[in-house]
Amino acid sequence: MNLAPPLLARYAESLFWMARYLERVENLARLIEVTYIFESPGRESESWYALVRINADEESFSRRHGVADPDAIKRFYLIEADNPTSIPAAIEVARTNARVLRPLISTEMWKQLNQFHHALTAIAPAELEGDALSRLADRIRAGVQAQTGITEGTFFRDQSWHFLELGRLIERADQTTRLLDIKFHLLVPRAREEWRLVELTQWGSVLRAAAGYHAFRRIAPVEFAPADVVAFLLTDASFPRSVRLCLDEIERHLTALRIRYGLGGTRAALERAEEMRALIAGAETERLSAGGLHAFLDNLQHALIGLAGEIGTAFFRDWRPFAPEREQGFQEQRQEQAG
Amino acid sequence: MDMPAEDPFQGYDAGSFYCEFAAGREGDGSAAATIRSRIAALGLANLRSRARAAETDLFNLGITFTVYSEANAIDRILPFDCIPRLITAAEWTELDRGVRQRVAALNAFLEDIYHARHILKDGIVPADLVLGNANYRREMEEFPVPFGTYVHIAGIDIVRDERGAFRVLEDNARTPSGVSYVVENRHLMLRAFPDLMAGMRVAPVDDYGQRLRAALSEIAPAEVLDPQVVLLSPGIYNSAYFEHVFLAREMGVPLVEGRDLIIEDDRVFMLTTAGPRPVHTIYRRIGDDFLDPTLFRPDSLLGVPGLISAWRRGHVALANAVGTGVADDKAIYAYMPRIIRYYFGEDAILPNVETHICREPAGLQYTLDHLAELVVKPVGESGGYGITIGPRASTTELERTRAALLADPANWISQPMVGLSVGPTLCEEGIRARHLDLRPFVVTGRESWVLPGGLTRVALKRGSLIVNSSQGGGSKDTWVLTGEFQSGATAHGVMR
């Protein structure tokens, strides 16, 4: 018997998705920033196209824009709200979920998200040009971080908080695998010495995009190898964006839901998390960084989808692998204007 | 700092209308004069910039309603006017008694027409007007509701005529909205204009949620010790969604949609992360038609299949009850003074606006003869739609109205044009007189309670008499003055 107030299944679902989409916005901003830094002179199109491949958007992008033009790619992710993988689309979904959650979330959370939404749906084309892009990415990242901070400081920590955190952590782990994967798509020069230097710079930038460069420097050998970076982002127990730490936290939240709120449906998800932990523990980062990393990351991404699926089927009202449709019931609600 | 060059009220002229800000009203406690001098000290520019900031605040907080164009949903705030509307203690005593009498009459009438029908048999109200009404619900016949309360939440629209007499313009007994603005306007006033409020003795409006929850708990099935109350909303795309959020939060109860509820063995459950949980009282903000697709509109996804059956079995309470729309119909409105007299043997404390019932030959004839002086209203509409204001209508419009009246007289009522009272309002051109109305909210479980004040709506367009938000209306904070102004006290100190 617990006296905690009940949580509507639909709210749990919205909390999970709101957090996922916000985290997605932050990470997309990080990816854009790292791509901007990596832009190889003369081969900008190929650099930017890596972003499209990481997000598995090849088909929808070519349907819209045909050839891979850097400006088109930036617009695709930063301005085109009708592209479901764009930042404006993601913030729209996050806000729609927040709107559902207004009875539950703090006023300050809603206010911040509301203002952030207004700002992101009004990105001007000029902000995609030159170094303005870097400032824009920075602003987007800071916006989500403000949201995260306000949530930390104001959101009531009953079971709803655990569902919100689960969404955020699953998305964060997924995005870290994508950030690592960008290395797979990047271009490296052929000449040996030049290759080594470019390679190190690129790994350094991946770390910077993940906000892990300085922490990595503190614990890594002076002459670090690619395997060290891979190990750090996948298995470090203290770095907030490592897959390992995200998994630790996911298990912590699932366990809290099971013990404190008596939600036995967490069992299957906990098993999945354990499987993932074994997968990471067994990863031979040395070998992975020499080849096979892409396939390994793909495996992790699928395992995360499986984990989210177990949470969804156990607790949500109507589990779908994608965000709930925005237009659902729209017509009828317009019609019904009682009072 | 420059001294304000001129009195900001200089261009204010109430004309022949009753002024809600007139100094020296009994029980005013010099509130109007104090506010006036405070605004003068602030200066118009200052007042304006703070008013703008206050409105931005409303928008950012999402205290909005949603307007739909062809493709887009646009969130709009209800424009907020920072000069409050003042109600004296004596005026409030009359209003409070008046609206409680009105709600008691609505409930007595509903109980009667769904049971013994004395009032129809005695010929006070035409039977076909009730039994043939689209909002009459056969499902309600012989069905008892706790305390005989059908209308748990009512909003009574009141205007004030040229002589200052309060008159009821309309009863809202289905799902009246606007109470969230009453409370939010007060919060905004305290945040943005604490210096205007300082020292004023104003009745607080903060306990609406608690009162409402208490009433909703009272009507829950008697055997339940700790009833689960929920608010049933059509969802986030409904234009009044903010109000649903507000009420759910103030009561501390879940805001559910139809798809969150299931019925098993005529009992209602909500779907939670821990499985189905019983529900005992539903404050529904969904119209009768949409409540239960097995009985009413079969295509509705907003409601809950089997809900009415669960209700009739006594396992769940609904607020408001089904079928209250027959009592707040504009056609029934005309009979309200007679209804009050019939049940209570007393006159209406708050009279109606004089109303001509066009289904009655005399009423139709009078309306046709005086079309250019009257306001003609269709009985079924709300929100100010379909109204013809005779004195302002063109000849073509009048002829069109005449044809509509003759085609279906029963669909219309007419009223003289009431010169609504005015209050000072911050406009483009300065502080000007704009017309006002008032919607007090009455919560009834075992007994009735009235939220002090209510929603004051203001027609922001010059000369306009239509206060509806859909047609250029805004709102004001409504202060029920409870005592003498105290100098030196802070707004918060006196409020609590």
* Dist. CA A102–CA B243, nearest whole Å: 11
CA angle B389, B390, B391 (to 5 degrees): 100
Q: Check whether residue A23 and residue A125 sit in a common domain.
A: yes
Rounded to 5 degrees, φ, ψ at A17 are -75, -35
A66 secondary structure, DSSP code? S
Residue A4 lies in a domain: no
Per-residue pLDDT 10s for chain A (339 aa) are: 446 789 999 999 999 999 999 999 999 999 898 888 777 667 788 888 888 988 889 999 999 999 889 999 999 999 999 999 999 999 999 999 999 999 999 999 999 999 999 999 889 999 999 889 999 999 999 999 999 999 999 999 999 999 999 999 999 999 999 888 877 666 666 677 777 777 888 888 889 889 999 999 999 888 888 889 999 999 999 999 999 999 999 999 999 999 999 999 999 999 999 999 999 988 887 787 777 888 999 999 999 999 999 999 999 966 555 544 444 444 455 445 433
Percentage above 70 pLDDT, chain B = 94
* Dist. CA B336–CA B348, nearest whole Å: 8
3-state secondary structure of B394: coil
pLDDT above 70 (res B1): no
3-state secondary structure of A212: coil
Closest CA to B355 of B201, B191, B171, B221: B171
Q: Which of B60, B241, B271 sits opposite A115 (nearest CB)?
A: B60
pLDDT above 90 (res B65): no
Q: What is the pLDDT of residues B416-449, one digit of tens each?
A: 999 999 999 999 999 999 999 999 999 999 999 9
Contact B356, B414 (CB under 8 A): yes
Identify the burial level of B474 via C-beta atoms within 10 angstroms of its C-beta, where 0-12 means exposed, 13-18 middle and 19 or more buried.
Answer: buried
For the four alpha carbons of A249, A255, A257 and A260, in that order, the dihedral sign comes to negative
Q: Check whether residue A22 and residue A37 sit in a common domain.
A: yes
- B65 to chain A: closest CA residue: A337
Q: Check whether residue A302 and residue A175 sit in a common domain.
A: yes
Q: Tell me the mean pLDDT in the region B152-175.
A: 95
Q: Check whether residue A141 and residue A221 sit in a common domain.
A: no
Residue A131 lies in a domain: yes
Q: Check whether residue A166 and residue A314 sit in a common domain.
A: yes
Residues of A with Cβ-Cβ distance to B177 under 8 angstroms: 339
* Dist. CA B278–CA B28, nearest whole Å: 49
Residue A277 lies in a domain: yes
Q: What is the DSSP string of A229-244?
A: HHHHHHH-SS-TTSHH
| Mean pLDDT, chain B, integer | 91
Enclosing domain of residue A199? 157-322
Q: Which residue has the higher pLDDT, B117 or B487?
A: B117
Residue A265 lies in a domain: yes
Contact B276, B262 (CB under 8 A): yes
Radius of gyration for chain B, computed over Cα atoms and rounded to the nearest angstrom: 23
Q: Check whether residue A47 and residue A94 sit in a common domain.
A: yes
Rounded to 5 degrees, φ, ψ at B481 are -80, 130
Q: Check whether residue A256 and residue A295 sit in a common domain.
A: yes
Q: Check whether residue A216 and residue A149 sit in a common domain.
A: no
Distances (CA, A) of B77 to A107, B54, B190, B474: 17, 11, 18, 9
3-state secondary structure of B264: strand
* Dist. CA A27–CA B6, nearest whole Å: 56
Q: Check whether residue A93 and residue A199 sit in a common domain.
A: no
- B286 to chain A: closest CA residue: A338
* Dist. CA B230–CA B248, nearest whole Å: 8
Four-CA torsion B113, B119, B124, B129, nearest 10 degrees: 20
Residue A1 lies in a domain: no
* Dist. CA B139–CA B294, nearest whole Å: 12
* Dist. CA A293–CA A178, nearest whole Å: 11
Tell me the count of A-B CB pairs closer than 8 A.
107
pLDDT above 60 (res B66): yes
Q: Which of A89, A122, A155 is the last residue of a domain?
A: A155
Contact B254, B231 (CB under 8 A): yes
Contact A144, A268 (CB under 8 A): no
Contact A269, A314 (CB under 8 A): yes
Interface test with A, best of B60, B63, B273, B283 (most A CBs within 10 A): B273
Residue A338 lies in a domain: no
Q: What is the pLDDT of residues B305-356, one digit of tens each?
A: 999 999 999 999 999 999 999 999 888 999 999 999 999 999 999 999 999 9
B81 Cα to chain A: minimum distance (Å): 22
Q: Do A8 and B270 touch (CB under 8 A)?
A: yes
**Inter-axis angle of helices B44-60 and B179-192, to 10 degrees?**
130
Q: Check whether residue A142 and residue A46 sit in a common domain.
A: yes
Q: Which of A132, A155, A178 is the last residue of a domain?
A: A155
Amino acid at A209: A
Cis omega (within 30 of 0) for bond into B320 = yes
Q: Which of A139, A155, A171 is the last residue of a domain?
A: A155
Q: What is the DSSP string of A120-163?
A: HTT--GGGGSTTHHHHHHHHHHHHHHHHHHHHHHHS--SHHHHH
Q: Check whether residue A182 and residue A147 sit in a common domain.
A: no
Residue A104 lies in a domain: yes
Number of structural domains (chain A) is 2
pLDDT above 50 (res B491): no
Residue A106 lies in a domain: yes
pTM (whole model) above 0.80: yes
Q: Tell me the mean pLDDT in the region B179-206.
A: 93
* Dist. CA A71–CA B240, nearest whole Å: 41
Q: Check whether residue A282 and residue A192 sit in a common domain.
A: yes
With cut-offs at 50, 70 and 90, classify the pLDDT of residue B496.
Answer: very low
* Dist. CA A154–CA A127, nearest whole Å: 32
Q: Tell me the mean pLDDT in the region B78-85.
A: 94
pLDDT given for residue B374 in this prediction: 95
B270 Cα to chain A: minimum distance (Å): 7
A264 touches chain B (CB under 8 A): no
Amino acid at B23: A
ipTM of the complex: 0.88
CB within 8 A of B222, min separation 6: which ones? B146
